Amino acid sequence: MDHYPHPLIAREGWPFLAISLGAALLVTGAAGLAWASPLWLVFVFCLQFFRDPARPVAGDARSVLSPADGRIVAIEPLRDPWLDREALKVSVFMNVFNVHSNRSPVDGEVRQRWYHPGKFFNADLDKASTENERNALWLRTADGQDVTCVQVAGLIARRILCYVDAGSRLVRGQRYGFIRFGSRVDVYLPPASRVKVTIGDKVAASLTVLAELP
C-alpha cells in the first residue's frame, strides 16, 4: 500500500468542494432545491473528480506502473524529446471521470524536472504530447534505467501540479502530482522494455503494470 496519507478526497479539491457546497447550500436556503439543483450537480462532480483512493502497489523493481488512471491511447517507438534518445512511448489519456492523482511509475531518483508552457489541445490527440502545456520528470532507477514521465494538460485541464524536483526519490505508486481537469500522461521507456498493455486498455495508477524494464 502506498504511504500517502489519503483523506479520500484530494487536497487539491478542497477549495472547489467548499465553494460549490457553500453556494449550493446558500441557494437551497434562499430559493429552494429546484433552483439549487445545478449547483448540487457541480458539487457532486467535484466530489467524484477529486476522489483519491489509497492503492496497493503492483509489480517489482523492474515493473513500470501506470502513473495515471485512464485509457491507453498510444504505444509507439520514437525519440524521447526530453533525453534526446530512442525510446518507447506509452500514453494514458485521463477523462474527467478518472482519478487525477499522478503516481510514480518506477522506483528511482528524479534527475531533472522540466516545465514547458503550451497550448490546450484535446489530450486524446497525438499532438498534445508536443504542443500542450507539460511537466516532465526524468527518473533513474537503481540499476541505471532511465524513464521519462510527462504530465500533459488537456482541453479542459488548465493546471498541472507537481510536488517533486531534482534530487527527490520516489517509489512505485508514490503520489507526486495532480492535473485538473482531464489530461494525459506520457511515459518514455528504454526501447527494449516489454510492454504489457495494448491500445484501448483501461489502466489504473499503481495497479496496472504498463511494461517491464530490460
What is the pLDDT averaged over residues 135-154?
93
Q: Which of 20, 91, 183, 206 is catalytic?
A: 183
Q: What would the pLDDT profile of 18-52 be if each residue is shown by its tens digit? A: 999 999 999 999 988 999 999 999 999 888 788 88
Average pLDDT over residues 135-148: 96
Separation CA 155–CA 171 (nearest Å)? 30
In the prediction, which pLDDT does 57 show? 92
Percentage of residues in the chain having pLDDT higher than 90: 61
Question: The pTM is what?
Answer: 0.83
Helical ranges in the chain per DSSP H: 14-31, 33-49, 128-131
Average pLDDT over residues 118-142: 70
What mean pLDDT do residues 42-66 have?
89
Burial (CB count within 10 angstroms: exposed 0-12, middle 13-18, buried 19+), residue 95 = middle
Residue 178 has pLDDT above 80, yes or no: yes
- 183 included as an active-site residue: yes
What is the residue extent of each domain of the chain? 8-52, 63-212
Predicted confidence at residue 1, as pLDDT, reads: 43
- How many whole angstroms from its chain centre is CA 56? 17
For domain 63-212, is the CATH number 2.70.70?
yes
